[in-house]
Amino acid sequence: MVFSNFLLTLFFSCSVISLIDASSNGITVDLLHRDSPLSPFYNPDNTLFDRLKSAFHRSYSRKASFNPTSISTKTIEAPIQLNSGEYLMKISLGTPSFETLAIADTGSDLLWTQCAPCTDCYKQIPPLFDPKNSTSYRDVSCQSQLCAAVGSSSCDSQNVCQYSVSYGDSSYSNGDLAADTLSLQSSTGKSVSFPKTVFGCGHENGGTFKEPGSGIVGLGGGALSIVNQLKNSIGGKFSYCLTQIDEPNVPSKISFGSDALVSGPNVVSTPLIKKSSDTFYYLNLEGVSVGTTKFFYKPLKNFDSISVDASSDDQGNIIIDSGTTLTFLPQQIYEQLEAALVKAIKGKRVTNPQGLLNLCYHVTGEKFDPPTIVAHFTGADVELPPTSTFLEVGEGMVCLTLVPSEDLTIYGNLSQMNYLVGYDLVNNKVSFKPTDCSKAT
């Protein structure tokens, strides 16, 4: 991370002039769930149950692709299943600005989009970004420190840095590393521009990408993430507020800079734990509670061998991720959690036909009232939203959206809904504030 900060300091001190000071710079834009009627990915023929089933499958695929035994985070930019991107955001590139829609992902770093001429690209419905039409477009040279920060790069005959990123589902993007103006526009019409933002101009892209979108907005913790690239302007801060699954017509929100401050009563904060892979956001989960009973997490002796990041200690044992729907808990914690829930809930247990969820109940007309579940992070007790902790996944069937994991653990987006979740990469913390996200502005 020290090396990453050095790269960013060098780059910004030499070439980037922020349009406005970080103290006054803030913007909030819509964040669209891929299955929302507001999204171009929306399929009206699918029921809510169909969409949930697909989201659960994507969670398992994403978790598998994060697994360090099958990938190397040193050579792979972001091990995600690309068609599993859960949230989308609009961005604009170039001068004049060119709007496109991309996957917003806290599990990857590089911002990239498909570019003309596309020598070997997946089919895209919206027009391609053409660098020749932008007066502010500049290639990044092979000698640039940021070229080295890509992870996998080469040099063409014109001394232009060539990036190459691949993903856990065998998708990929190859092209020119470039710099251009990035613009974000809020739903109220406010616009903020950031000159000389480095991104990937992809000329060869393929895999599981979908036609309505074009590329990825990397929100991870690495050097090329827009959160770190724009650190001088946004103060290293961003936040999001995810609406409940039963509010599909209300967009979620993502904020940057001064708009991303999480303050006031009922705010709790927990440290961001640094690991060798600086892309992912690690928190320290100390335990969970069911009602008044708390179960402490005791790391296994072979924790290092099954962690997403082999570390010398047991700190940073869970990744917080907006792109994973389910929450994956350590096996030992989950077993105690399930036993306590079974004891507390009076109802008929049933089996989830897809086999994706472990604890399910049959419900009829009566109200299903499970006990309160709290996740205990270091310094922060976060009550899980009851409306998304148990979801109706089939007619008359509700299931727990927390599942066991013998290796990688992830705090998924269902557990974050109706919270304002703020990331502060300067003070290295994540904050949570209970919020009605459907009313967030």
Q: Which residues are catalytic?
A: 105, 321
d(C-alpha 252, C-alpha 256), whole Å: 14
Cβ–Cβ under 8 Å, residues 257 and 233: yes
Q: How many CB atoms lie within 10 A of CB 21?
A: 12
Q: How many CB atoms lie within 10 A of CB 226?
A: 24
The length of the chain in residues reads 441
The dihedral sign for the CA sequence 63, 64, 67, 73: negative
Query: Residues with Cβ < 8 Å from 31, sequence gap 6 or more?
Result: 87, 88, 89, 104, 240, 242, 251, 252, 253, 254
Cβ–Cβ under 8 Å, residues 193 and 230: no
One DSSP character per residue, 17-83 reads: --SS-TTT-EEEEEEEETTSTTSTT--TTS-HHHHHHHHHHHHHHHHHHH-TTT--TTT-S----GG
Give me the residue label for tokens 């690239």.
229
Going by the DSSP 8-state scheme, the letter that residue 144 receives in this structure is S
d(C-alpha 238, C-alpha 227), whole Å: 7
d(C-alpha 402, C-alpha 397), whole Å: 15
Q: Which is it for strands 161-166 and 87-93: parallel, antiparallel or unpaired?
A: unpaired
DSSP alpha helix (H) spans, 154-244: 226-229, 231-234
d(C-alpha 176, C-alpha 200), whole Å: 6
d(C-alpha 370, C-alpha 160), whole Å: 58
Residue type (1 letter), 302? N
Give me the residue label for tokens 């470039």.
178
The dihedral sign for the CA sequence 325, 331, 332, 338: positive
- Residue 432 corresponds to which tokens in the numbers above? 């949570």
d(C-alpha 313, C-alpha 303), whole Å: 9
d(C-alpha 389, C-alpha 414), whole Å: 7
